[in-house]
Structure 1
Amino acid sequence: MELVHRLAIFFSLILFTLAFALALTSLLTDFWIETDGLEHNGVISKAIFVHSGLFHGVRQIDWVFGPKFKIFSVFQEIQTHISFMNKTSWIIMLFFIALGLLWTFVGLLISLLNTVIEEIKNVTGPTGIYLWSSLSVTSHGIALALFLHQYYGVIQENVLLEEHLTARFSSAGHVGLGFSFWLLAFGCAIQVLPIVLIFLSQTSSYRKQMHERKAGKRNLSSGAESTDADSTLFMY
């Protein structure tokens, strides 16, 4: 396997590793959404806030006697029908994130394998990187799309409970996407790069092979002409 192709596989290994780390960190951190403060009786305060991941979150609310910090479980709030997340969307989203992590890990293993062995002409070889990258991008892309649907449909308007709304707290207009969301989005984006690298390396390899074949044919043709000329001289 030529050097360019091996380098493409090596960089693909690095990208798969980075994408896996980003996706796993995104899943386990609690900043998919965060507020820049909350309103209480029309007054914005930075001392009261909400941030949440896919499993846990935090609400800090000032109930007159000072801000009270409380950790909540997204799953428990979904079960009691008080969550800002839709149960079906949440389950499907977690499924596709997990599936994307699986494909990314497979791509990582395939890239590692192909840095130390000769090229294999199936899905366990460099061409399989197309498949694993595409599956990972698709899975994580679906998860991101589902979350954005929830975000623009519900989350932007309210991430508080009924008791907070009754006390005239409001999060409308103060909720944004947190770094956990962007970690998965970035990890999803860089999964495209292994496809590009392998495509460019295979294209380069193909062009080199075609050039060598043409050069070989020209050499054979020149050799044949030289032999004919020598035969003619010998006859004379």
Structure 2
Amino acid sequence: MSNFIPVKIFFYFELTFCNNSLRCVKPLNVFLISMVKKRRACIFLSFIIGIVSIFLLGLSFGTNYWIISRPIRVVNTPNNSFIYENSKINFGLWRGEKTLDAGFSTEGRTNEIKVIPRYIDTRIFTYELWLSSIVLLIIAMIWAIISVFFALINSIIYPIDKMAGTMGLYLWNALSLAFTFLSTLLFTILYFGDIRQNVLVLEEKRSGFEADGNRTQFGWSYWLMFGAMLCFIINIINIFLSELKCCKKNTQNGSINNDFYLNKYGMYNKDICKPEQTVILY
């Protein structure tokens, strides 16, 4: 190990070591300082976008507007027919609200809906699809939190371990994207298979209320999932671009300058360091 000197970057100074002993300290050139700053900025942007994605997933998980329905009640008399259209039902993964217009004022007629006793225990909705959507969403949030944590780490240092570095950021964001997509997909299947035609329970149908497919739609809580997926995609692209900028080589000599070159694992002094010796960017 004594035949080469690893180089580390610490607050824009180059530190050279031999056998764990500091041998030399000198400032980086302007180009390398600019490159380190740009990489940090890109990774910190991924951290901010990751925070937004967690916020969107959490807001979607906890709000009651995955489904919004506008039932009607048709009352037929010998001389005329009356249609009452002021009813509304909305619910999320756990609970919601319903206001049914029976022909009188709807004021004070809003009641809470609990999804499990109303739809799951009665088997109106497919239990397996509902539960799988929730579990996958929780897993997606866990991966998103891990992604944000490592994005913050990478905005401060250049980790030695590959999975703690940009390769890990690719993986955590990809897993968050995949699990969010699967959760959304299963809930979409649940919507078209069960929810769209069964948002009303039997008692409400017998009272004359109707809510066909056109009156039952996805709410904004559902569409927040697509916003989170977009954040994960943007993060993956941003990380790729940050690495692409840092890995550009001088077209004349194949290196950044006469002293250093970069690859996806770190920065090396090409004259005195072995390529496999990873360097930390602090």
Instruction: Give the TM-score, by structure 2 length.
Output: 0.70
Contact 1:158 1:170 in 2 (8 A): no
Q: Which of residues 65, 71, 81 in structure 2 aligns to 1:31?
A: 65
Deviation at residue 24 of structure 1 after TM alignment? 0.2
Amino acid at match of 2:42: A
Describe the SS at the equivalent of 2:111. Answer: strand
Aligned to 1:108: 148
- Distance in 1, matches of 2:256 and 2:128, equals 61
For the aligned residue pairs, the C-alpha RMSD in angstroms reads: 2.1
Amino acid at match of 1:183: L
2:216 counterpart of 1:175: yes
- Distance in 1, matches of 2:92 and 2:194, equals 15
Mean Cα deviation higher: 63-72 or 24-33 = 63-72
Contact 1:82 1:161 in 2 (8 A): no
Instruction: Give the TM-score, by structure 1 length.
Output: 0.83
Aligned to 1:138: 178
2:238 counterpart of 1:197: yes
Distance 1:202 1:209, change over 3 A: farther
- Distance in 2, matches of 1:61 and 1:158, equals 15
Aligned to 2:195: 155
Higher strand share: 2
Describe the SS at the equivalent of 2:200. Answer: coil
Deviation at residue 142 of structure 1 after TM alignment? 0.3
Distance 1:184 1:160, change over 3 A: same
Aligned to 1:98: 138
Contact 1:120 1:126 in 2 (8 A): no
Percent identity over paired residues: 24
Q: Which of residues 3, 6, 9 in structure 1 aligns to 2:43?
A: 9
Number of aligned residues: 215
- Distance in 2, matches of 1:117 and 1:149, equals 43
- Distance in 1, matches of 2:230 and 2:252, equals 34
Amino acid at match of 2:122: H
Deviation at residue 129 of structure 1 after TM alignment? 0.8
Deviation at residue 45 of structure 1 after TM alignment? 3.8
2:113 counterpart of 1:72: yes
- Distance in 1, matches of 2:192 and 2:118, equals 20
- Distance in 2, matches of 1:170 and 1:78, equals 17
Contact 2:40 2:156 in 1 (8 A): no
- Distance in 2, matches of 1:197 and 1:60, equals 45
1:31-78 deviation per Cα after TM superposition (whole angstroms, max 9, x unaligned): 00112x322117654421110100001111123443321111111224
1:147-203 deviation per Cα after TM superposition (whole angstroms, max 9, x unaligned): 111112222223001011112211112011101001111111211111111111212
Distance 1:216 1:57, change over 3 A: closer
Higher helix share: 1
Aligned to 2:122: 81
- Distance in 2, matches of 1:114 and 1:170, equals 55
- Distance in 1, matches of 2:223 and 2:117, equals 25
Q: Which runs of 5+ in 1 are unaligned?
A: 218-236
Q: Which of residues 216, 222, 227 in structure 2 aligns to 1:186?
A: 227
Distance 1:24 1:214, change over 3 A: closer
- Distance in 1, matches of 2:185 and 2:46, equals 25
Contact 2:144 2:173 in 1 (8 A): yes
- Distance in 1, matches of 2:131 and 2:252, equals 53
